[in-house]
A and B are shown apart, each in its own frame.
Chain A
Amino acid sequence: EAQVTQNPRYLITVTGKKLTVTCSQNMNHEYMSWYRQDPGLGLRQIYYSMNVEVTDKGDVPEGYKVSRKEKRNFPLILESPSPNQTSLYFCASSSLRTETYEQYFGPGTRLTVT
């Protein structure tokens, strides 16, 4: 089954404790991205990647890191989480070969930073 998986689905952590949210897709998609969703603000892009070893900042990259060492994986790293990073996070992927760039989303990771 074609899918995007994220782990963990729920995470409660404390300020400053480094964490990683994993994202993996099995569709051989070139493009992967991370979004955060906050009430009233919609989806805001954090980082995106066009292919292995190619990453770029989105609209709200501060406080986040990403890496793309393999095509299927695109982890999101919070080196020193702060309470304003409490949010619902989504990973998404799409093929760059179809020219429609339909996005496939993961199930989401709800992060709470206390």
Chain B
Amino acid sequence: SQQGEEDPQALSIQEGENATMNCSYKTSINNLQWYRQNSGRGLVHLILIRSNEREKHSGRLRVTLDTSKKSSSLLITASRAADTASYFCATLQGGGSYIPTFGRGTSLIVHP
């Protein structure tokens, strides 16, 4: 069952612009993770935000979490062509769950 749903499904921007993608979920979570997938390759963990955190940064990545709205956003600043990939959110539900639930992903294309 898919808990997280990313929005938009696809995003096309120019190099240097910021890219924002959102993730909504349905039940309470322990943490929320963002992953990146280059075409046909395995997913790679980008960043994790815990349920008691509101914002986190890692390089050009900024993640926010709003537990009252059950949503998260991933911002990639000053995007590069190499950022072209699919981005997935994964939620760890509360209550001690260790099984992440992935959304369908946002496909990002950054034009040089």
The yes or no verdict on A and B being binding partners is: yes
Q: Among residues 18 to 63 in chain A, which have CB atoms less than 8 Å away from a CB atom of chain B?
A: 31, 33, 35, 40-43, 45, 48, 50, 59
- Interface contacts (Cβ under 8 Å), in number, total 54
- Find chain B residues with CB under 8 A from A100 CB: 31, 33, 48, 92
Contact of A43 among B33, B41, B99, B102 (CB under 8 A): B102
CB of A103 within 8 A of CB of B40, answer no
Task: Check B27 for interface membership: any CB of A closer than 8 A.
Answer: no
Question: B-facing mask of A64-100, CB < 8 A → 1, else 0?
Answer: 0000000000000000000000001010101010001
Report the count of interface residues on A (CB-CB < 8 A): 27
Contact B42 A108, beta carbon cutoff 8 Å: yes
The answer to whether B42 and A43 have CB atoms under 8 Å apart is: no
Is B104's CB within 8 Å of the partner chain A? yes
Q: What are some 22 contacts across the A-B interface (CB < 8 A)?
A: A35-B102, A42-B2, A42-B102, A42-B103, A42-B104, A42-B105, A48-B99, A88-B40, A100-B31, A100-B92, A102-B45, A103-B33, A103-B35, A103-B45, A103-B90, A103-B100, A105-B44, A106-B42, A107-B41, A107-B42, A108-B41, A110-B40
